[in-house]
Amino acid sequence: MSSSEESQYLAGLSKMVFFDIVPQQSSQAFLWSLFNSITDPIFVKDRQHSWMFVNDALCQFMGYERAELIGKSDYDFFCKTEADAFWERDEQIFTTGLSDEHEQLITDYQGETRIISTKKSLFSDEVGNSFLVGSIRFIGSKNKIETALLCQTVNKLEQEIHERQETEKRFRRHSNALQQLVQSEKLQHDDFQIAIQYVTEVASLGLDVERVSVWLYTEKGLGIQCIDLYERENNCHSHGFELSFCDFPRYFQALKEEQVIAVSDVHNDPRTWEFSASYTTPLGITSMLDARIWSKGQVIGVVCCEHLATQRQWTLEEESFIGSITDFVRLVIESDNRKIAEEALRQSEMQLRQQTQQLELALFELQRTQIQMLQSEKMSSLGQLVAGVAHEINNPVNFIYGNIAPAHDYIQNLLNLINLYQEYYPSPVPVIQSQIAAIDLDFLMADLLKLLSSIKIGAERIREIVLSLRNFSRLDEAEYKAVDIHEGIDSTLLILENRLKTKPNCLGIEIVKEYGNLPLIECYAGQLNQVFMNILTNAIDALEERDEQRTKQQIRQLPSVIQIRTEIINHNQIAIKISDNGLGIPENIKQRIFDPFFTTKPIGKGTGMGMSISYQIVTKNHYGTLECISSPYQGTTFVIIIPLKQQQLAN
């Protein structure tokens, strides 16, 4: 079904719901069931842009009940920027009557940014009222799509670098052969042909073009002859073609006036118009880079490089490269200056190596970005999972916690009633006395309130854990938020509490907090929590590794301690210092601690990306600094400095 047919079908169904079906309960129930069985969100709006109908899928996407959505507009649920975009497109449909289909980014009620495809169409009832019907289809999350595109880019660049490295090897092999020929006493005729063949292949490899040819002027001076033509696709050489000056006068005049002729589009450049019918068009040539061969004050030939299929903008480096190739051809022809020839070859090889190094650097940066995006996506997914679990746990815990107080009152009233019975009926019948003894009534009455108190403490503990999970997994990737940094640190410590507390074979790690009086800080809270988690986890690992080599007596004499200190250091910066009293970090390791993929942990225990990502989060995302201060046996301190307000730096 095409897009237009689908829109018409959707409009027809909506019209049936509102206008063409008699108000019979069975028919309406059938249509409601039909719409709610569709997994894509569907909605209908009136002329005032208010929702008149929404199916279950849209309710689930919005995170609201149907009754909360009906009669409301986009401005009641989305940010103003998104709502303005919806309103403008809807109004265009109402005004023109034309259907609309488009893709856009949208943030759902859980804070996840996703790409959706929306289809909308217009219909009217019998009395002329207009209604808009639309459907939504999810394409994917923004992070996942960006990550997939980045992976494709990395793979393509890796392939390009591999090809470039192979090209460089062939280039070096040919240039070495050329140097050997130049260093010989005199180039023989056969050697000359071989040298020119090497030249054309070197030029093809260095410039990444499909065809390279070397032409020399004929003895009579009336034309030009092809000494060698190299075709990279077929990996073959040919020669013997001749051209007359009379056939291409404008081009040969340009050769006398210009050292290099760079043509990005042969069909729109006056210098190559005369080639189109007989040469460039039949061969599929789109761009040309030619350089004249100059010897003893006159033009003696030309090196011609031809690019096929797509237009190409030649760079200054490429023009310089073809210039060095023509210098070498001249020297091969003259065969009287070996040092200059060798220098020309060396320059050409150096330029190719620089291009390869630039590609390798770009690949390294892309790979690091790819790892960071994958890690960010994992943390985002983990955050959504944690937030969802915390939300689901929070509801029953609140139910339990909210019922503890009335349960306490009810039980207290029952105990008071039992006390009254014991006071006024001290001698119950034997059956009751037997049951009192069986259940140990006195202990039960004394322990029941203690039991309720324990349940209350446990429920409060679960609420604290849920709150910490929600604080730690903040879904705030879209914008900076003003948050309490101390809440993020405390929630991270609570998650790590199992590793900090005393165990049968471990005395635990003491946490010392020295929190300053900080205001709310504008930051990506979830990302900073990730930094705290990475630094604290590394500190715990280091302290546990040291304690495994010490006795309990040694640990009691010098217990493991992690100190966390926060303070304002100037009018727009705060410092967060996380220190441990472990063995410290050697200087050679400290210098590489923020390098991607560097780790001192065994295989399977660390990826080497935690501190690298933390460094990027602090320095690039928050315009701050992250410093490691450590000496052997003197402990380690990580100092995080970030601004109070991010927009001051942005402006």
184 vs 540, residue with greater confidence = 540
CB 250 within 8 A of CB 274: yes
Closest by alpha carbon to 619, among 586, 600, 594?
A: 594
Superfamily of domain 3-141: PAS domain (3.30.450.20)
pLDDT reading at 437 higher than 50: yes
Summarize pLDDT for 184-227 with one digit per residue, the tens.
444 444 566 777 887 788 788 777 888 998 888 886 667 888 88
Helix (H) or strand (E) holding 98: none
pLDDT at 426: 85
Residue 462 has pLDDT above 60, yes or no: yes
Per-residue pLDDT, averaged over 253-261, amounts to 84
Comparing 11 with 484, the larger pLDDT belongs to: 484
Closest-CA residue to 14 (of 59, 52, 70): 52
List CB contacts of 408: < 8 A, sequence separation 6 or more. Answer: 449, 452
Q: How far apart are CA 155 and CA 44, in angstroms?
A: 44
* pLDDT band for position 549 (cuts 50, 70, 90): confident
Confidence class for position 19, pLDDT limits 50, 70, 90: very low
pLDDT at 338: 46
pLDDT band at residue 600 under the 50/70/90 scheme: low
Q: Enter the tokens of residue 456.
A: 């209350």
Give Dmax over CA atoms of the chain in angstroms: 143
Which 3 state secondary structure label does DSSP give 413? helix
Cβ neighbours of residue 636 closer than 8 Å, sequence gap 6 or more: 539, 542, 579, 580, 582, 584, 585, 628, 629, 630
Q: Which residue has the higher pLDDT, 534 or 463?
A: 534
Is a pLDDT exceeding 60 seen at residue 91? yes
pLDDT average, residue stretch 510-519: 92
* 584: pLDDT strictly greater than 80: yes
Residue owning tokens 């992070």: 143
**Strand-pair partners of 562:** 511, 580
- Under the banding of pLDDT at 50, 70 and 90, the label for residue 482 is confident
CB 45 within 8 A of CB 76: no
Confidence at residue 579, expressed as pLDDT on a 0 to 100 scale: 93
Between residues 306 and 595, which one has the greater pLDDT?
A: 306
Residues whose CB falls within 8 Å of the CB of residue 601, separated by 6 or more in sequence, listed in order: 541
Q: Is residue 481 very low, low, confident or very high in pLDDT (cuts 50, 70, 90)?
A: confident
Three-class secondary structure assignment of 12-58 = HHHHHHHHHCCCCHHHHHHHHHHHHCCCCCEEEECCCCCEEEECHHH
Query: What's the mean pLDDT in 309-331?
Result: 80
Does 603 score more than 60 pLDDT?
no
DSSP letter (8 states) at residue 117? E
Pick from 178-182, 392-396, 412-416, 454-458 the range whose average pLDDT is largest.
412-416
Q: Does residue 430 surpass a pLDDT of 50?
A: yes
- Output 373 or 188, whichever has higher pLDDT: 373
Q: What pLDDT score does 193 carry? A: 75
Across the strands, what pairs with 228?
214
Mean pLDDT of 18-42: 62
pLDDT at 369 over 80: no
Predicted pLDDT of residue 152: 63
Fold assignment, 187-334: Beta-Lactamase (3.30.450)
Residue 578's pLDDT band (boundaries 50, 70, 90)?
very high
In this prediction, residue 527 carries a pLDDT of 80
Name residue 631's amino acid.
Answer: S
Q: What is the structure's pLDDT at 269?
A: 84
Q: 375-389, 514-528, 589-603, 608-622: which has the highest mean pLDDT? A: 514-528
Query: Residue 21: pLDDT band by 50, 70, 90 thresholds?
Result: very low
* One-letter amino acid of 594: F
Of 363 and 486, which is predicted with more confidence? Answer: 486
Positive or negative, the CA dihedral 254, 255, 260, 262 is positive
Task: Give which of 311, 307, 339 is closest to 322, Cα–Cα.
Answer: 307
Q: What is the pLDDT of residue 626?
A: 92
Higher confidence at residue 603 or residue 84? 84
Residue with the bigger pLDDT between 17 and 70: it is 70
C-alpha 399: how far from chain center: 40
Q: Model confidence over 441-450: pLDDT tens digits? A: 888 888 888 8
Helix then strand then coil, in percent of the chain rounded to 5, is 55, 20, 25
User: Is a pLDDT exceeding 70 seen at residue 274?
Assistant: yes
* Predicted local distance difference test score (pLDDT) of residue 568: 92
Please answer whether residues 315 and 287 qualify as being in contact, where contact means their C-beta atoms are separated by less than 8 angstroms.
no
Judged against a pLDDT cut of 80, whether residue 240 lies above it is answered with no
Give 313 or 525, the one with higher predicted confidence: 313
Of 21, 75, 32, give the one whose Cα is nearest residue 50.
Answer: 75
Q: What pLDDT band is residue 565 in, cutting at 50, 70 and 90?
A: very high
Residue 170 clears pLDDT 70, i.e. is over it: no
Distance of CA 120 to the CA centre of its chain: 31
Q: Identify the band that residue 163 occupies on the pLDDT scale cut at 50, 70 and 90.
A: low
* pLDDT level of residue 640 (50, 70, 90 thresholds): very high
The answer to whether domain 3-141 and domain 479-651 are alike in fold is no
Predicted confidence (pLDDT) per residue in 104-141, tens digit: 666 655 555 555 667 777 777 667 788 888 888 766 55
What average pLDDT does the chain have? Answer: 75
Domain ranges of the chain: 3-141, 187-334, 371-475, 479-651
Higher pLDDT, 516 or 385: 516
pLDDT value at 512 more than 90: yes
The structural architecture, per CATH, of the domain 479-651 is 2-Layer Sandwich (3.30)
Q: Which of 360 and 234 is assigned the larger pLDDT?
A: 234
Is the model more confident about 48 or about 589?
A: 48
Q: 608 Cβ partners below 8 Å, 6+ apart?
A: 595, 596, 597, 598, 599
Q: What is the pLDDT of residue 638?
A: 93
pLDDT > 70 in the chain, percent: 68
